[in-house]
Amino acid sequence: MLDVSAGGVSMPSLETVSLKRIMATEEAVLQLVSGCSCLADLTLEQCPSMEELVVTSPRLESFSIFCCHNTRHVVLHTELLRTLRYRDGLPGKNFFTIADCTKVLAMTIDICQSFVRKSAPTVTPIMKLITRCTNLTFLHLHLSMAYHSGTFMRALRRLPHLRQLALKGIIKDDQTVRSISTLLRNTPGLDMLSLSLLRPYSPKPYYLGINSSIIQTFI
């Protein structure tokens, strides 16, 4: 349990903080983060109390936020950010406010929801974030973004320094294959393409006498 005293926190020498499954109040988390004036690497994972996060450390170089489903806005007051990682559902408009996106060199965006039947405006915020990081050299995305390959390609064309692209997910249909092929034709500057293919879920007919497809409907 995170217990922050009323007087706040002062840890000026601490450079790396990783908070996972913290059930403390948003105020307590913010006090902890703000008390690390030299913070260079911050990771938040499954922190349900966080709705708006403000990181004031001017030395922050790496920021990761994973599965903080209630977070609506993240403000990073740093001009040194090099690495940005995000894993959750599609973020809303202006989810990230970053002092200087042009310093970001590596980005991982892992959207944990299907893009099928998603309209183009719903993916616009994440595409705008990518295109604002004009000096990206490494980008890791989920293959599900292939369902909006046109928007995706327009974003990649604005990244002249992109050299490494990593795609992770399931190739569900021919559309995904065609989208990857189109991507390769339109990114001649790539030095490396990494494909991490996941095995589709294939339920067994019965497990302990129960149809597993029925179980899935309740998960």
| Model confidence pLDDT, tens digit, residues 54-89 | 999 999 999 999 999 999 999 999 999 999 999 999
Count of structural domains, the chain: 2
205 contact partners, CB below 8 Å, separation of at least 6:
211, 212
Asked whether 109 and 96 are in contact (CB, 8 A), the reply is no
Q: How confident is the model at residue 4 (pLDDT cuts 50, 70, 90)?
A: low
Residues linked to residue 140 through DSSP beta bridges, in sequence order:
108, 166
Show which of 14, 49, 80 is a domain's final residue: 80
- Is 159 inside any structural domain? yes
> Can you name the residues that pair with 194 across neighbouring β-strands?
166
Q: Is residue 212, in this structure, part of any structural domain at all?
A: no
Terminal Cα-to-Cα distance of the chain (whole angstroms) = 29
CA distance 84 to 63: 5
Structure-token match 């998603």, residue found: 118
Same domain, residue pair 118 and 174: yes
Percent of all residues in the chain with a pLDDT value above 90, rounded to a whole number: 51
- Nearest CA-CA partner of 197 in 140, 141, 143: 143
Measured CA to CA, the distance from residue 100 to residue 96 in angstroms comes to 11
Q: Using an 8 Å Cβ cutoff, are 88 and 68 in contact?
A: yes
Per-residue pLDDT tens digits for 141-196: 887 776 666 777 888 888 999 999 998 887 777 877 887 787 777 777 889 988 88
How does the average pLDDT of the chain come out, rounded? Answer: 84
Contact criterion met (CB below 8 Å) for 17 and 44: no
Q: Are residues 75 and 147 in the same domain?
A: no
Q: Let me know: does 100 contact 135? Beta carbons within 8 Å.
A: no
111 lies in a domain? yes
Query: Is 120 a domain residue?
Result: yes
- 60 and 137 fall within a common domain: no
Q: Are residues 114 and 58 in the same domain?
A: no
* Enclosing domain of residue 186: 100-201
Q: Is 66 in the same domain as 119?
A: no
Asked if 113 and 191 sit in the same domain, the reply is yes
Question: Average pLDDT in the 121-140 region?
Answer: 91
Q: Is residue 183 part of a domain?
A: yes
Query: So what's the pLDDT on residue 170?
Result: 78
- How sure is the predictor about 3, in pLDDT bands with cuts at 50, 70 and 90? low
- The pLDDT of residue 137 is 96
Q: Is the pLDDT of residue 128 over 80?
A: yes
In a domain? residue 219? no
pLDDT at 121: 78
Q: Is residue 75 one of the residues assigned to a domain? A: yes
Between the alpha carbon of residue 23 and those of residues 48, 60, 64, 74, 152, the distances in Å are: 7, 24, 18, 18, 36
Q: What pLDDT sits at residue 84? A: 98
Does a structural domain hold residue 206? no
